[in-house]
Amino acid sequence: MNFKHLVRETVFNYIWPMSRPKVSVSLITYNHEKYIAACLDSVVRQVVNFDLEIVVCDDCSKDRTPEIVAQYALRYPGLIKPVLRETNFGLVKNAISNIQACSGEYIALMEGDDFWVDDDKLQIQAEFLDNNPDCAFCFTNQYTFYEEIAGEQKVFFADSNKPPEKFDLEFLIKHNITVPNNTKMFRRTVMPAVLPDWYYNSFVWDWALHILQARHAQMGYIDRVTLAYRRHPGAVFMSKNEIAILLDSIVTVTGINKELNFEYGYMFNSFWWEYHELAFAYLKEGGYLNFLRYYLKYLFSPGRSSIQIKDDLWLLRNGLFGQH
C-alpha cells in the first residue's frame, strides 16, 4: 500500500467516535520520523476507564512522519485522528489549531519527539481534575534525557524546587514555576477563545498559555514522573539563538502584562536581567551600538540587580579584546 493510499484510507475510512471523549490528547509533530513511533506507542498504551481520542497533527513534515502517523491511524481506528497538513503552519499556530480540533472535556498536550513513561498518566490526571474543580490544569514531573549523551538523565523537580500540590497565578509568577508542557492536562473551558497576535510568534507560547489559562483558577501538581523529555539538536527551541530568545521574552512578558490588565505589573515591569544579558550577547557578536543601547537600559531599569560594575567591565574587556 503506497503512502497516498494510506492517507486516503486514514482520512475517509476510520471510525469516528460517536460521543465526546472525556480526554483528548493533542499531539503535534514535525520531522519526527525517528521518534514518533515511540511517542505514539506511549500514548496508546495509556490505561483509562473513559473514552479517549488522540488528535495527531503533522505540520507538513519533510520526512516519513506523516506516513507513520497514517499507519498508526489505520492500526487504531477511532482512537487516532490524523491531521496531515499540506502546508507548514509553524509550531504555535499548529499547536493551537490542533487544540481547537480536540473535542474532549480535558485536553492533554504532547509532542512527537517525547514519550510518556507512566501508563496511568491520563487516568490520574483526569481523576485529579474531577476532584479539584478549582484547578484549571494539572501537570506532573518529568525526566530529561540527552540524545547525544548515553545514560544522561535528570529529574526536573527535585525536593528543592518541587511545587506545592495546588497554587495560584501569583505563586507561579513569583517563584518562576516551569510547567513541563507535555505533562499538562487542562480543562477545555479554560482555553482562551481568542489569542493576541504576538502570541503566535512567541518561543515561550506554552508558558504564556499556562498564565492565560490560570487567570481565575488554581494549578495542580502531581508528584509523579510521567514524561521522558528528549533534548536533541533538532528541537525547535535549541535552534534559536540567545538574542532572539531574550527579545522574544520581552515581547511575550509585555503582552502577558497587558492581557492581565497590569495586575502583576510589580513583577513584570522590569526587564533589567534581559537587558543585561542582551547587552553582552550583542557584544559577543560585535554589535557595539546594541550593547550600549541595552546596557544603558539595564542601568536605568527599576529594581535591577546589584551586579558589580567591575564584573561587567571584565566582560566588556573580554568582549572587546578577547582577554581572559
- Do 215 and 257 fall into the same domain? no
Among 222, 239, 256, where does a domain finish? 239
- Do 77 and 193 fall into the same domain? yes
Model pTM score: 0.85
Going by their DSSP bridges, the two strands 153-155 and 185-187 should be labelled as: unpaired
- Do 87 and 197 fall into the same domain? yes
- Do 270 and 230 fall into the same domain? no
Number of domains in the chain: 2
pLDDT along the chain (324 residues), means of 10: 43 50 98 97 98 98 97 97 96 96 97 97 98 98 80 84 96 93 97 94 94 94 96 60 91 94 86 88 90 89 65 60 50
Tell me the DSSP string of 43-97. Answer: HHT---SS-EEEEEEE---SSSHHHHHHHHHHHSTTTEEEEE-SS---HHHHHHH
Q: How many CB atoms lie within 10 A of CB 18?
A: 7
Distance CA 128, CA 118 (A): 16
- Do 251 and 206 fall into the same domain? no
- Do 201 and 115 fall into the same domain? yes
CA angle 107, 219, 93 (to 5 degrees): 40
Which residues are CB-contacts of 248 (< 8 A; sequence separation ≥ 6)? Answer: 201, 202, 203, 204
Which residues are CB-contacts of 97 (< 8 A; sequence separation ≥ 6)? Answer: 57, 89
Among 194, 224, 239, where does a domain finish? 239
Distance CA 76, CA 6 (A): 13
Distance CA 79, CA 17 (A): 8
CATH number at residue 125: 3.90.550.10
Q: Where are the beta strands (DSSP E) in 90-203?
A: 106-111, 115-116, 135-146, 153-155, 166-167, 185-187
Among 184, 208, 239, where does a domain finish? 239
- Do 278 and 129 fall into the same domain? no
- Do 249 and 211 fall into the same domain? no
- Do 103 and 13 fall into the same domain? yes
- Do 234 and 249 fall into the same domain? no
- Do 127 and 247 fall into the same domain? no
Q: Which domain holds residue 70?
A: 3-239
Structure confidence at residue 16 (pLDDT): 42
- Do 139 and 254 fall into the same domain? no
